Amino acid sequence: LKYAFSNNGDINVITFKMKKNDDNSYTMLIGDNGIGSKIGLNDEHATFGLELIKTLAEQLQGTIKHLPVKGTMYEITFSSVK
């Protein structure tokens, strides 16, 4: 959040959505409509926020992908957790 938004008058939106899929897996969206980031999922040096998201996906044994939208948005898909 510290670097996500500029002071250009836009409405700042943080997104967190989660849904259950037909195959009993789950899809989670995490992101914002801010200025975005040029750091990729596989880059050696990541931001603290990206490291948190990657760690969450790893703990859930899920997959993560960056969605091509304004700002930054990640989709994590994972199976049911016991």
Q: Mean pLDDT across the chain, nearest whole number?
A: 86
What pLDDT, on a 0 to 100 scale, did the predictor assign at position 12?
87
Average pLDDT over every residue of 28-40: 86
Check whether 22 has a pLDDT greater than 90.
Answer: yes
pLDDT at 59: 92
Query: Which residues make Cβ contacts (< 8 Å) with residue 31, sequence separation at least 6?
Result: 14, 15, 67, 69, 71, 72, 73, 74
Distance CA 75, CA 30 (A): 7
Region 47-68: mean pLDDT is 89
Q: Are strands 72-79 and 14-20 parallel, antiparallel or unpaired?
A: unpaired
Residues 6+ apart with CB under 8 A from 51: none
What's the pLDDT band for 17 if we cut at 50, 70, 90?
Answer: very high
